[in-house]
Amino acid sequence: MTKDAIVGRYPRSPEVLLSLLHDLQKANRENYLTPEDLARAASHVGLTPTEVRDAVTFYSMFSLRPRGRHIVRVCESPNCHLAGAWSALAELRRALGVDVGETTADGLFTLELTSCLGACAVAPVMMVDDEVVGNLTPERVRETLDRYREAK
C-alpha cells in the first residue's frame, strides 16, 4: 500500500495522528518515520511539522532513525527490575550481539528499553513488535528470538 493510500484512510483530524504515524512507520522497511512522513502527516491532520515531530519524539514507540525489522523492548520498570529484567537484558545483548539502541548487523532486530508494559503479573517482560512476552528467563528469551528469526 502506498503512503498516500495509508494517509487517505484517515480523516483530516489531529485525533488520528498517532494511529497514522504507526501505519506510516510500519510501511517503512527500516521501521522508522522519515521527514517526508512527518510532513505528510502534519499536512493531512492540520498540525505543524514541529507539533508532529514533538509527538514522535515523546513516544518511545516511534523512531526517526532506521531500526531493525523487529523491535525488542525490555521493560525497565521497578517491578520488572526486581523480577530479573536485567538478566533477560543481558541474555538479549549476548544473543543479539548488540547493546541497547543498536540494530543487529542483519537488520532483523533493534534492542530498546521501555517503561512499564502493563504486564506486571508476568514480570519480567519484553515486547517484540506487538507481542508481550512475560516470565522471562534466558531460555525463554532465546526461544522467542528463534521464533522471529524463523519467521524471517
Instruction: Take residue 143 and report the three cell numbers written for it.
Output: 526461544
Q: Which tens digits make up the pLDDT trace of 101-119?
A: 999 999 999 999 998 999 9
**For range 18-31, the mean pLDDT:** 94
Residue 15's pLDDT is: 97
- Asked if 75 contacts 118 with a C-beta cutoff of 8 angstroms, the reply is no
Element (H, E) at 133: strand 131-133
pLDDT at 29 (0 to 100):
87
For residue range 76-98, what is the model confidence (pLDDT) as tens digits?
999 999 999 999 999 999 999 99
Write down the pTM of the prediction: 0.83
Share the mean pLDDT of the chain.
Answer: 95
As a 3-state breakdown, the chain gives helix, strand, coil percent values, each rounded to 5, of 50, 10, 40
101: left (phi over 0), alpha (psi -120 to 50) or beta: left
Name 32's Cβ contacts closer than 8 Å, sequence gap at least 6.
25, 62, 63, 64, 65, 66, 67
Asked if residue 49 has pLDDT above 90, the reply is yes
How far apart are alpha carbons 32 and 54 in whole angstroms? Answer: 15
What integer pLDDT is reported at residue 1 of this predicted model?
86
pLDDT exceeds 90 at position 141: yes
- Look at residue 152 in the predicted model and tell me its pLDDT: 66
Average pLDDT over residues 28-53: 96
Query: Is the confidence at residue 61, as pLDDT, over 90?
Result: no
